Amino acid sequence: MIEVNNLSVSLGGKELLKNVSFRVRPGQFWAIVGPNGAGKSTLLKVLSRDLAPSGGEVLFNARPLAKYQNQELAQVRAVLSQHNQVSLPFKAEEIVMMGRYPYHEHEPTDADYAIVHRCLAKVEALHLADRLYPTLSGGEQQRVQLARTLAQIWEVPQGYLLLDEPTNGLDLKHQYQTLHLARELAGRGYGVVAVLHDLNMALHYADRLLLLSKGSTYAEGTPAEVLNPAAIEAVYGIAVQWVTPAEGGTCFIMPQPDFQPISL
Amino acid sequence: MSQTDTLTQPRREAGTFTARRRSRAGALGLLAALLVLAVLISVCTGAMAISLPELAGIVTQQLGMEAAYPFEEHQKIIFWFMRLPRICLGILIGAGLSVAGALLQSLFRNPLADPMLIGISSGATLFAVLAIVLGTFFSGLLGGLLGSYLLSFAAFMGACLAILLVYQLSKVNGRSQITTMLLAGIAINAFVNALTGLLISMANDEQLRSITFWGLGSLGGATWTTVLTVLPFIGLTLLYMPRLAKSLNLLALGESQAAHLGVNTTRLKRQTILLVTLTVGASVAVAGTIGFVGLVIPHIIRQAFGPHHRLVLSGSALAGAAVLTLADTLSRTLVAPSELPIGVLTALMGTPVFVYILLKEKRYTHD
């Protein structure tokens, strides 16, 4: 379990996060949502230990995050960051193999190669295995990086996956596929925390939502509870409505018809 | 979870594993053969030619056997006391500078990083020039031999001090940032070069000549003593570098990504900088500044065999050793009986190669 207790982060005199608390249990898919500058990425950076909190604490399986060695953490949780630029001409397959590095001393085994290929297949990127990573398109690179994070926790029974805007740059089909994959992993006992921008995606795929506003928790709960039109208008400053398709099925969030983005 | 996996089954399976190791061994074998060839050419060429049979004779006799082929006594002396130490020094320094370049390029995630760039070489130069200029005052005191050791010692200290300064400057909130380090290196480099220029403007003609000669690099001072002096420094780097290969691969993903995958990035930075400083400091101390090897060789290896560091580091070591051995052979034979500075040769050979690589890389990114 990941326990976040009264977390605060200040950088350069500015308070980016104030008293944020939540718990990620194995098997849960948490989405962190909120407008730009709400502190979503900052929160994920603290969870992945890129940033030290200025107050509060994060416990990973009941042990303070700060007490872990990098190597120990690498074997329980994987992180997909927002920017993944690689200038050296590694093959896509070699990039994914890097997810297996925490598990072998010198040379990868045949089992490692099998996992790498399985993870590439999971993100529909097996055909890219021999391509050079810098020559791939942005969306293809993102999928290869996702495969790399999958490979890292593939054999961990209750691993954690931290995803910062995992659908960034992906086409429509692969956006859904990525979130479907996150959902599937949660179903198998993984704890998934993802920063998401698309509220409809969050509504359809996440179990639990954390809605941040100006560095504080605005609401926490199931997607349907958190994403009510009143809350969205209060946090995002845009009037929305829930629309149920005529043929039934899940409803989705869209702006009110008379919404004017900018008054001229 | 693999049993329930319903998506596309992997088309390609294992077996690639052994093939990969074999191709890596093949690449290293090729480079090792190149080095052996370079050494043989270098042994046999020079003012006093030694043919391969004569070489076999010298070696078999030294091994306590009957000399396989006849040779002349002075050939033996030239081989043991002039050519071989010089070749050994060339191998060590060539391997050391190339590996140092490869390490720095990976650490800074910048293909143009080079020991010259972050102040190691210029720090060494400043202290060497200081030793030459002030040396005149002390030479009566210390004597010639001690004076030349003083020069090497000063150069080594200069390299260490420069990098220490750069490392301290690059610390932000107690952690060293890689990009800040590159910038700090460039700043220190400029400052140190200015100080060196100041000292040069105060030097007399004789000092100027030795400063110039030293700045262009030469393996001419090679003896078994110099070989044994640099051996521990460069040997340490060559022995330790395979342990860094995996972490440097991960660093290519980004500093925080490497940390997420278990790399202690602070320790990696310290180890890399320490190894590079020891290697370059020791090289500059005995052979002056030899440019372009550290920049060009890792590029060629990456182009030829891919960016995996296990191969880039060992491959750079072998190729760098071969190239410097050949360059030194040219430097002592082209204008014999006088010598061309080896730094001039490496720059002359390295620049066109480097431009070619740049053009090729440009083409490849435009496709």
**A102: nearest CB among B9, B12, B262:** B262
Dig out the tokens for B115 from the structure. 């020991």
Cβ distance of A79 and B260 shorter than 8 Å: yes
User: Is residue A226 within 8 Å of residue A208, measured between CB atoms?
Assistant: no
Question: Distance (Å, rounded) from C-alpha B294 to C-alpha B97?
Answer: 5
Q: Is B349 among the domain residues?
A: yes
- B101 and B66 within one domain: no
Which residues in chain A touch residue B257, judged by CB atoms under 8 angstroms apart? Answer: 79, 81, 84
- B164 and B66 within one domain: no
- B235 and B199 within one domain: yes
Give the pLDDT of residue B1: 41
Cβ distance of B21 and A126 shorter than 8 Å: no
Question: Distance (Å, rounded) from C-alpha B241 to C-alpha B96?
Answer: 11
Contacts (Cβ under 8 Å, ≥6 apart) of B327: B90, B342, B345, B346, B349
Checking if the pLDDT of B140 tops 70, the result is: no
Checking if the pLDDT of B357 tops 90, the result is: no
Question: Where a domain ends, among B71, B106, B127?
Answer: B71
How far from chain centre, in Å, is Cα B153?
18
**A114: nearest CB among B8, B10, B261:** B10
Give the pLDDT of residue A175: 94
Instruction: Dump the DSSP string for chain A.
Output: -EEEEEEEEEETTEEEEEEEEEEE-TT-EEEEE-STTSSHHHHHHHHTTSS--SEEEEEETTEEGGGS-HHHHHTTEEEE-S-----S--BHHHHHHGGGGGG-SSS--HHHHHHHHHHHHHTT-GGGTTSBGGGS-HHHHHHHHHHHHHHHHTT-TT-EEEEESTTTT--HHHHHHHHHHHHHHHHTT-EEEEE-S-HHHHHHH-SEEEEEETTEEEEEE-HHHHT-HHHHHHHHS--EEEE--TT-S--EEEE-TT--SS--
Residue range(s) defining the domain that contains residue B59: 25-71
Please tell me the total number of residues recorded for chain A in this structure. Answer: 264
Cβ distance of B17 and A94 shorter than 8 Å: no
Which residues in chain B touch residue A134, judged by CB atoms under 8 angstroms apart? Answer: 365
Give the pLDDT of residue B4: 40
- B110 and B208 within one domain: yes
Give the pLDDT of residue B68: 79
Least confident of B41-50, B61-70, B240-249: B61-70
Question: Distance (Å, rounded) from C-alpha A79 to C-alpha A193?
Answer: 10
Question: Distance (Å, rounded) from C-alpha A46 to C-alpha A65?
Answer: 9
- B52 and B144 within one domain: no
Cβ distance of A129 and B260 shorter than 8 Å: no
Q: Is B82 among the domain residues?
A: no
Least confident of A250-259, B86-95, B113-122, B280-289: B113-122
Q: Looking at residues A40-47, what average pLDDT do you find?
A: 95
Give the pLDDT of residue B362: 62
Checking if the pLDDT of B137 tops 80, the result is: no
- B259 and B204 within one domain: yes
Question: Distance (Å, rounded) from C-alpha A152 to C-alpha B366?
Answer: 33
How much of chain B, in percent, has pLDDT values that exceed 70?
87
Cβ distance of B1 and A188 shorter than 8 Å: yes
3-state secondary structure of B176: strand
Checking if the pLDDT of B363 tops 60, the result is: no
Q: Is B226 among the domain residues?
A: yes
The tally of CA atoms less than 13 A away on the side-chain side of residue A198 is: 16
Q: Is B10 among the domain residues?
A: no
Checking if the pLDDT of A43 tops 60, the result is: yes
Q: Is B81 among the domain residues?
A: no
How much of chain A, in percent, has pLDDT values that exceed 70?
98
DSSP B337: T
Checking if the pLDDT of B142 tops 70, the result is: no
CA of B244 to nearest chain A CA: how many angstroms apart?
Answer: 10
Which residues in chain A touch residue B13, judged by CB atoms under 8 angstroms apart? Answer: 113-114, 117
Q: Pick the closest to residue A21 from A210, A186, A223, A228 (CA basis).
A: A210
Greatest mean pLDDT range, A165-179, B141-155, B159-173 = A165-179
The number of folded domains in chain B is 2
* Minimum CA–CA partner of B259 in chain A: A70
- Interface A–B counts its CB contacts (< 8 A) at 107
The tally of CA atoms less than 13 A away on the side-chain side of residue B60 is: 13
Residue B9 pLDDT level (bands cut at 50, 70, 90): very low
Checking if the pLDDT of A23 tops 70, the result is: yes
User: Is residue A251 within 8 Å of residue A241, measured between CB atoms?
Assistant: no
* Minimum CA–CA partner of B361 in chain A: A89
- B242 and B104 within one domain: yes
Q: Looking at residues B165-192, what average pLDDT do you find?
A: 79
Q: Is A257 exposed, middle or buried (0-12, 13-18, 19+ CB in 10 A)?
A: exposed
ipTM exceeds 0.90, yes or no: yes
Question: Distance (Å, rounded) from C-alpha B257 to C-alpha A84?
Answer: 8
Residue B146 pLDDT level (bands cut at 50, 70, 90): low
3-state secondary structure of B49: coil
- The values of phi and psi at residue B248, to 5°, are -70, -35
Checking if the pLDDT of B7 tops 50, the result is: no
Least confident of A78-87, A255-264, B43-52: A255-264
Cβ distance of A85 and B254 shorter than 8 Å: yes
- B148 and B59 within one domain: no
Between B166 and B252, residue with greater pLDDT: B252
Which residues in chain B touch residue A49, judged by CB atoms under 8 angstroms apart? Answer: 259
- Which tens digits make up the pLDDT trace of B180-230? 888 888 888 889 889 988 988 888 888 888 788 777 888 888 889 889 989
Dig out the tokens for B362 from the structure. 């440009």
Cβ distance of A89 and B306 shorter than 8 Å: yes
Q: Is B324 among the domain residues?
A: yes
How far from chain centre, in Å, is Cα B31?
16
- B193 and B61 within one domain: no
* Minimum CA–CA partner of A49 in chain B: B260
- The values of phi and psi at residue A69, to 5°, are -80, 150
Give the pLDDT of residue B147: 57
- B54 and B155 within one domain: no
Which residues in chain B touch residue A124, judged by CB atoms under 8 angstroms apart? Answer: 7-8
- B326 and B192 within one domain: yes
Cβ distance of A73 and B262 shorter than 8 Å: yes
Residue B3 pLDDT level (bands cut at 50, 70, 90): very low
Q: Is B13 among the domain residues?
A: no
Angle at alpha carbon of residue B83, lines to B82 and B86, rounded to 5°: 85
Give the pLDDT of residue B11: 45
Q: Pick the closest to residue B181 from B192, B169, B197 (CA basis).
A: B169
- Which tens digits make up the pLDDT trace of A52-111? 999 999 999 999 999 999 999 999 999 999 888 898 899 999 999 999 999 988 888 889
Q: Is B18 among the domain residues?
A: no
Question: Where a domain ends, among B71, B103, B134?
Answer: B71
Assign 3-state DSSP to chain B and report helix, strand, coil percentages, each to 5. 75, 0, 20
CATH number at residue B93: 1.10.3470.10
* Minimum CA–CA partner of A72 in chain B: B262
* Minimum CA–CA partner of B262 in chain A: A71
Cα distances (angstroms) measured from residue A141 to each of A51, A176, A181, B148: 25, 17, 17, 55
Checking if the pLDDT of A200 tops 90, the result is: yes
Between B271 and B111, residue with greater pLDDT: B271
The pTM (predicted TM-score) of the whole model is: 0.88
Question: Where a domain ends, among B10, B37, B71?
Answer: B71
Q: What is the average pLDDT score of chain B?
A: 84
3-state secondary structure of B335: coil
CA of B271 to nearest chain A CA: how many angstroms apart?
Answer: 17
Checking if the pLDDT of B175 tops 70, the result is: no
Cβ distance of A99 and B259 shorter than 8 Å: no
* Minimum CA–CA partner of A111 in chain B: B14
- B178 and B51 within one domain: no
